[in-house]
């Protein structure tokens, strides 16, 4: 009987040892195939099989030293512990955190008809106008609702310290300084009669008409009881054009006083006024008097806007806000001119005749359209660097590697990808390579946008480990002029619409929420 029992135990030991060898061998094959095929299920199977194999080996080693039930429990426990130890760290290491953990603010997902306005400044508030008429302000401290109707014009001051709400007959200026908020969290508000033209250095410039008499006035926001000055104005209601947005070179209808502020959500820092006798003039916000020369004559077909300076400007005059005009001849030829304090900085040669849309942005003029006699549309730019119009990037871009995608273009920079798997920024005027960053891999699918001097770029993440999530994307938020990355994150979540914001930030929609990301 004893010999029979020993034989049976020896047989079980051999059986378990064989099972251990087989399971461990299969585990090794699964691990090799998982790395080769980048299959997570094989990597998990390898961990489970290895744990089971080591548990079977333990049963073979323990033999008669423990009762059968105790041996089985010990082996099963060891198998579970080892399987968890071999799989859990790998799963945790490849897990991607949700983007919401990196967000400084979160709002309900942006939908069709919702509009976002931002300034090219760090930490400046972001204005969101919903299609239903509601509005919100976002910053690093959270979200604040804005009391306004769908018909009101809302515009940020160029320095982000105030929000202007214009109803047509009156103008309310809301201070955005959180330390000055009312007890219920509201905005300290000062109300004026008239239509806002500009807000510069704490002075609000207004136009108001009563009984057919129109005047312009300037109010110091620190002492708003009485105007600093009042001058006679015209009854003409012609306004400037939105900076940074494409408009037809020849307007089909005159731009209204508030059209630009409604379109780009920013009130100009430079007060501009149209006089039907003289044309366009720039006003001194401290006195209301015209400064410099006439910007454009009353009969000229011109687009005009106050813009931020080029991000690469070195001349102190060019680094200040500029007024751009682009005037169209009868044949469609364009002539662009830049002014500072009413004095001309530069003027372009006439462009080729044609049908154009123009974009006045960061001290430069981008035009897109078709030359007379041509069938293919193209782009040209006028800038401080040369009198002749040229293709964006000029010879500098023509000598670069072939581009595979263009993320975006503005007056200062164009952001593109090339065949070598690089993300690049070029000066829009002369094609100087401003910076170069690697994509996750050559040929990877890339999408993004460029707005307010910030680029948002999404590219596919190449799976390198078996447990890496499928369909993951890398999100980068960076300064378009310098290439400085303010946010880099990887996510397996499905990303919807993205909006680039000034100051190296972005609004990214994930599911039912839109997240404020970046610096």
pLDDT of residue 5: 47
Task: Return the closest-CA partner of residue 261 out of 313, 197, 324, 215.
Answer: 197
Which of 368-377, 425-434, 459-468 is predicted with the least confidence, judged by mean pLDDT?
A: 459-468
More confident residue, 22 or 40: 22
| Per-residue pLDDT, 449 | 95
Residue 216, phi then psi, degrees to nearest 5: -110, 145
Say yes or no: 38 and 165 in one domain: no
Indicate whether 348 and 319 sit together in one domain.
yes
User: Cα(49)–Cα(270) distance, rounded to whole angstroms?
Assistant: 72
Percent of the chain with pLDDT over 90: 57
SS3 of residue 459 by DSSP = strand
The last residue of one of the domains, among 77, 94, 111, is: 94
Compute how many other C-beta atoms are within 10 angstroms of the C-beta atom of residue 7. 10
424, 481: one domain: yes
Looking at 338, 366, 390, the residue that finishes a domain is 390
- Does the pLDDT of residue 305 top 80, yes or no? yes
In this predicted structure, what is the pLDDT of residue 438? 93
Q: Which among 390, 416, 444 is the end of a domain?
A: 390
On whether residue 110 sits in a domain, the answer given is no
How many CB atoms are located within 10 Å of the residue 286 CB? 13
The token duo for 117 is: 């306005």
b/e code 116-132 from CB counts within 10 Å (16+ = b): bbbbbbeebbbbbbbee
pLDDT: is 221 or 50 the higher one?
A: 221
Q: What is the pLDDT of residue 183?
A: 75
408 part of a folded domain: yes
**Residues, the chain, total?**
519
Residue 279 burial (C-beta neighbours within 10 Å; 0-12, 13-18, 19+): middle
Residue 277: CATH number of its domain: 2.130.10
Residue 267 and residue 222 share a domain: yes
Q: State the pLDDT at residue 403.
A: 86
Residue 443's pLDDT band, with cuts at 50, 70 and 90, is confident
Tokens of 360: 């006045």
pLDDT value at residue 393: 85
For residue 15, pLDDT over 60 is answered with yes
Residue 513 within any structural domain of the chain: yes
Two tokens, residue 136: 């919100």
Stronger pLDDT, 4 or 74, i.e. the higher one: 74
Structure tokens, 166? 């214009």
Give a yes or no: residue 100 inside a domain: no
**Cα 80–86–90 angle (5° rounding)?**
130
The CATH code of the domain that includes 491 is 2.40.10.480
Query: Are 64 and 171 in a shared domain?
Result: no
- Looking at the structure, do residues 378 and 405 belong to the same domain, yes or no? no
| 350, 427: one domain | no
Query: Using an 8 Å Cβ cutoff, are 418 and 406 in contact?
Result: no
83 pLDDT exceeds 90?
A: no
Confidence bin at 180 (pLDDT 50/70/90): confident
pLDDT at 1 over 50: no
Structure tokens at 172: 């309310």
Q: Say if residue 412 is in the same domain as residue 337.
A: no
Q: What is the mean pLDDT of residues 176-190?
A: 84
CA distances from 47 to 32, 39, 284, 407, 465 (A): 12, 13, 75, 43, 15
Asked if pLDDT for residue 2 goes beyond 60, the answer is: no
115 occurs within a structural domain:
no
pLDDT (tens digit, 9 = 90+) per residue, 25-78?
Answer: 766 776 676 665 555 565 666 666 666 666 666 656 665 555 656 555 655 665
In this prediction, residues 79-98 reach a mean pLDDT of 61
Asked whether residue 205 is domain-assigned, the answer is yes
Q: Flag the least confident range among 41-50, 208-217, 339-348.
A: 41-50
Write out the two tokens for 197.
């033209």
The C-alpha atoms of residue 235 and residue 243 are separated, in whole angstroms, by: 24
Q: Are 450 and 415 in contact (CB under 8 A)?
A: yes
Q: Are residues 279 and 239 in the same domain?
A: yes
Structural domain boundaries, residue 467: 401-517
Q: 77 and 175 in one domain?
A: no
Domain tally, the chain = 3
């Amino acid at each position: 009987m004893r010999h029979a029992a020993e034989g049976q135990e020896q047989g079980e030991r051999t059986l378990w040892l064989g099972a251990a060898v087989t399971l461990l061998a299969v585990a090794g094959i699964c691990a090799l195939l998982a790395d080769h095929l980048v299959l997570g299920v094989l990597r998990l199977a390898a961990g489970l099989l290895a744990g089971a194999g080591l548990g079977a080996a333990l049963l073979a080693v323990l033999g008669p030293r423990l009762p059968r039930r105790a041996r089985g429990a010990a082996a099963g426990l060891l198998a579970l512990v080892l399987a968890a130890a071999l799989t859990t760290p790998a799963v945790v290491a490849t897990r991607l955190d949700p983007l919401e953990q990196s967000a400084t603010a979160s709002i309900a997902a942006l939908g069709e008809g919702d509009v976002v306005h931002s300034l090219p400044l760090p930490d400046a508030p972001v204005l969101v106008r919903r299609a239903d008429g509601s509005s919100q302000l976002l910053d690093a401290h959270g979200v604040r609702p804005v009391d306004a109707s769908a018909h009101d014009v809302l515009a940020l001051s160029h320095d982000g310290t105030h929000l202007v709400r214009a109803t047509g007959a009156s103008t309310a200026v809301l201070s955005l300084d959180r330390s000055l908020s009312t007890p219920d969290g509201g905005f300290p508000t000062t109300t004026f009669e008239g239509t806002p033209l500009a807000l510069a250095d704490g002075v609000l410039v207004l136009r108001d008409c009563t009984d057919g008499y129109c005047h312009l006035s300037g109010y110091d926001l620190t002492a708003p009881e009485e105007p600093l000055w009042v001058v006679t104005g015209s009854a003409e209601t012609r306004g400037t054009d939105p900076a940074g947005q494409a408009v037809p070179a020849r307007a089909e209808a005159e731009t209204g006083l508030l059209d630009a502020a409604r379109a780009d959500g920013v009130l100009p820092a430079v007060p501009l006024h149209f006089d039907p006798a003289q044309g366009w003039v720039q006003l001194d916000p401290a006195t209301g008097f015209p400064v410099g020369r006439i910007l454009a004559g009353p009969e000229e077909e011109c687009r005009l806007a106050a813009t931020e300076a080029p991000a690469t400007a070195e001349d102190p005059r060019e680094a200040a806000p500029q007024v751009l005009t682009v005037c169209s001849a009868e044949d469609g030829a364009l002539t662009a001119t830049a002014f500072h304090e009413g004095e001309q900085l530069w003027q372009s040669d006439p462009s080729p005749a044609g049908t154009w849309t123009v974009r006045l942005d960061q001290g430069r003029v981008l035009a897109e359209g078709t030359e007379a006699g041509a069938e293919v549309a193209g782009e040209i730019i006028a800038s401080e660097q040369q009198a002749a119009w040229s293709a964006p990037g000029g010879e500098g871009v023509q000598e670069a590697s072939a581009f595979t995608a263009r993320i975006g273009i503005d007056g200062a920079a164009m952001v593109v990808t090339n065949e070598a798997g690089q993300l690049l920024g070029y000066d829009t005027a002369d094609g100087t390579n401003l910076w170069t960053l690697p994509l996750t891999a050559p040929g990877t699918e890339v999408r993004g946008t460029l707005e307010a001097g910030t680029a948002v770029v999404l590219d596919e993440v190449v799976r390198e480990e078996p447990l890496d999530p499928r369909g993951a994307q890398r999100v980068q938020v960076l300064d378009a002029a310098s290439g400085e990355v303010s946010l880099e994150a990887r996510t397996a979540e499905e990303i919807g619409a993205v909006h680039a914001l000034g100051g190296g930030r972005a609004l990214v929609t994930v599911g039912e929420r839109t997240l404020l990301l970046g610096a």
